[in-house]
Every structure is written in C-alpha cells, then in structure tokens.
Amino acid sequence: MIENTVILGIETSCDETSASVVINGREVLSNIISSQINIHKKFGGVVPEVASRKHIEVINAVVEEALKEAKITLNEIDAVAVTYGPGLVGALLVGVQYAKGLAYSLEKPLIGVNHIEGHISANYIEHNKLEPPFICLVVSGGHTFIVYVKDYGLYEVIGETRDDAAGEAYDKVARSIGLGYPGGPKIDKLAKEGNENAIKFPRANFHDDSLDFSFSGLKSAVLNYLNKAKMTGEEINDADVAASFQKAVIDVLSDNVIATCKKYQVDKIAIAGGVASNSALRNRLIKEGGDLNIEVLFPSPILCTDNAAMIASAAYFKFIKNEFSSMDLNAKPNLKLGEK
C-alpha cells in the first residue's frame, strides 16, 4: 500500500461543482466548491438543465484551483474519484466523463463513489479517529437514511424515507411561507423566534415496527394549514409555523435514530448531509444521546454540504482494497447504497 495515498475527488451530483485533494481519506489539502445557489434561487429550486450547463462551464477551473491550493500536480495524485450516483443524471455525467478522461490520460485508477457513502465518510475527515461500527443518520435535500455502518464500505440501510426527503420538505415549506430557497437554513433561523408547540402537525408512524420516514403528509399538513388560514382570514405567525414544522421533523429523525442505536446496541451516532447543519437537530441529539451515553458526532457545516472531500475520503477505503472502476463507468441517478 502506498504510504500516503493522494486522491483527487470530483463531485457534481446536484448544484455544487467541487474538487478536493485528500490524503489517506482523512487529511484535506483542498476542498473547492463552486455553488449554484444564487443561480437557482430565482427558480425556487434546482433546475437540472441549468445545473448541468454550469458544471460544464466551471469544472476545469475548480479542479485546477483544488490542485493549486493543495500544492500538488496531477502526476502526484494516486487516483481520481468521482460521484456517479445518486443525483441528477445530467449533472452526474459531467463529473463522470471528466474524471474518466482525467484518469485515462494520467493512467491512474478511477474510483466511482456513491454520493450517500460520501456523506457518511465526511465524518472520517471531521473525526479522524472515528472507526466503524456506528449508526449514521444521512439527512439532506434529496436523501433521508438511517445506516448501520458495519465496516468501511459495508452498510445496512435500517430506515429511509418512503416519499419526500427531510430537506426537500424543508424547501417546500419554506417556499410556502415566503422564505425562498434554500429552505433549511431559513426555517432553522426563523424557528428560533417561534413556539414549536403552537401548531400540532402530524408525525408519520408505521405499524410494522419500521424505522422508515415519511414527510409528504407533514408537508401537506403545513400547506393545508396555511391555505385554510388564508381562506378564513386567520392571522399566520410564520415563526410558529416554522418552529412547529421543524419540531415534527426532528421528533421523528431523533426518535428513529435513537431507537436504532438501542436495537443494534451501538453507542455512536454520526450525522451527515445538509440537514446535519440544523441547530435544532444537533441540540436534540446531543441532549438525548448524552442522556443515554450515546456519542453524537457532526461534520463541520462545509462538510455537510455536497463537497468533493467526502468523495475522496470514501474513495480511499476503496483504493486500499483495490476496488477500482472500469472506463465504462456511467452515471446512475438512482444508485442505491451498497449497489455496485
């Protein structure tokens, strides 16, 4: 095994174009992110075709900046890693084709990485002593999973959303009360001014002992509440709506992940994904985890968002097992965790 494995990671699954240089899966030399938030804000959400075009425009410059900041050349990297799913197919294709061309021209290994596995691996960067097994709650705009991380690259999905992802519900509710995009940070901020017990919004409970999630009913309940209030002329307190909605989301996220720890007798939770930056979720899990002697770990906000450092980290654990991808690697927008 190479003493210091240097991996160039590339991430283009949605609306962030990112490149990163990471040593041994833990030490980040650079992590450049070109965000498209301001572009998509006027549309109220990500427009796939616009995202793809923007990736094409900036990907070369982003990779060059990552190499420059890391103070290394392309010849000094040991492998090229890239997200190949899940995500927006057009956006994924930009990164995959770029990475394939780069790996081929450099005669370096190509490593395709699952985006969800990348989010999980962000915790290896933030907490460089972290090792499996642990429970990971992955919560973002497109994904909501509870994953039992048995070993590096070995996962069991314990629970997942049956409809909307938690972050998607945040975005839709934020838009309905006029906060705009992206909704997560805006609702988190506004909720601090409201009463979380003001409105009783529903929590989805399944009757099969499942630890799955469902947020479509909650989202619809908020929209129905707002529409009814407008029709009857009732005054709407946006802060109360935000706080009550957020409490309903965090109740089920926290309850299910804590139940998973008890069921599998695991005393460590790692949180990942964009919603992992949510202050209410962090506070709730830290408190509940502390009461039960469960360690709760979070990445820094920059590692919660889509970024290439997490992709390079995940790729390292494939590199040391010689798990390389062939040059026929293709984008898989609906790729499942653990699927090859």
Could you tell me the two tokens for 292?
Answer: 């039960």
pLDDT at 42 over 70: no
- Give residue 36's pLDDT: 74
What is residue 112's three-state secondary structure? strand
User: How many structural domains is the chain composed of?
Assistant: 2
- 281 and 153 share a domain? yes
- 174 and 295 share a domain? yes
pLDDT at 151 over 90: yes
- Say if 36 falls within a structural domain: yes
What is residue 315's three-state secondary structure? helix
- 283 and 311 share a domain? no
- 79 and 113 share a domain? yes
- Say if 105 falls within a structural domain: yes
DSSP codes, 114-172: EHHHHHHHHHHHHSTT--S-EEEEEE-SS-EEEEEEEETTEEEEEEEBSSS-HHHHHHH
Range of the domain at 161: 132-299
Distance CA 51, CA 88 (A): 9
- Give residue 332's pLDDT: 96
294 phi-psi bin (left φ>0, alpha ψ -120 to 50, beta other): beta
Mean pLDDT of 257-261: 95
- 70 and 110 share a domain? yes
- Give residue 2's pLDDT: 64
- 186 and 114 share a domain? no
Mean pLDDT of 61-83: 97
Cα three-residue angle 24-28-33, rounded to 5 degrees: 130
- 292 and 307 share a domain? no
- Give residue 5's pLDDT: 97
- Say if 224 falls within a structural domain: yes
- 146 and 205 share a domain? yes
- Give residue 51's pLDDT: 83
Residues 264-273 have pLDDT tens digits of: 999 999 999 9
Cα three-residue angle 265-271-273, rounded to 5 degrees: 145
- Say if 223 falls within a structural domain: yes
pLDDT at 203 over 60: yes
Distance CA 331, CA 84 (A): 5
DSSP codes, 64-90: HHHHHHHT--GGG-SEEEEEEESS-HH
- Say if 40 falls within a structural domain: yes
The burial class, CB within 10 Å (0-12 / 13-18 / 19+), for 185 is: middle
- 73 and 185 share a domain? no
Distance CA 261, CA 305 (A): 25
Residue with the bigger pLDDT between 328 and 204: it is: 328
| pLDDT confidence band for 31 (50 / 70 / 90) | very high
Distance CA 183, CA 170 (A): 5
- 92 and 141 share a domain? no
- Give residue 286's pLDDT: 95
Task: Write down the mean pLDDT value for the chain.
Answer: 93
pLDDT at 29 over 80: yes
CATH at 85 = 3.30.420.40
- Say if 335 falls within a structural domain: no
- Say if 264 falls within a structural domain: yes
- 103 and 45 share a domain? yes
E strand or H helix that includes residue 334: none
| pLDDT confidence band for 339 (50 / 70 / 90) | confident
- Give residue 258's pLDDT: 96
- Per cent of the chain over pLDDT 70 is 99
Residues 293-332 have pLDDT tens digits of: 999 999 999 999 899 999 999 999 999 999 999 999 999 9
User: What is the pTM (predicted TM-score) of this model?
Assistant: 0.92
The candidate with the shortest Cα–Cα distance to 204, out of 142, 145, 248, is 248
- Give residue 64's pLDDT: 97
Residues 153-201 have pLDDT tens digits of: 999 999 999 998 998 899 999 999 999 888 889 999 999 999 999 999 9
- Give residue 3's pLDDT: 80
- 191 and 270 share a domain? yes
pLDDT at 1 over 70: no
What is residue 10's three-state secondary structure? strand
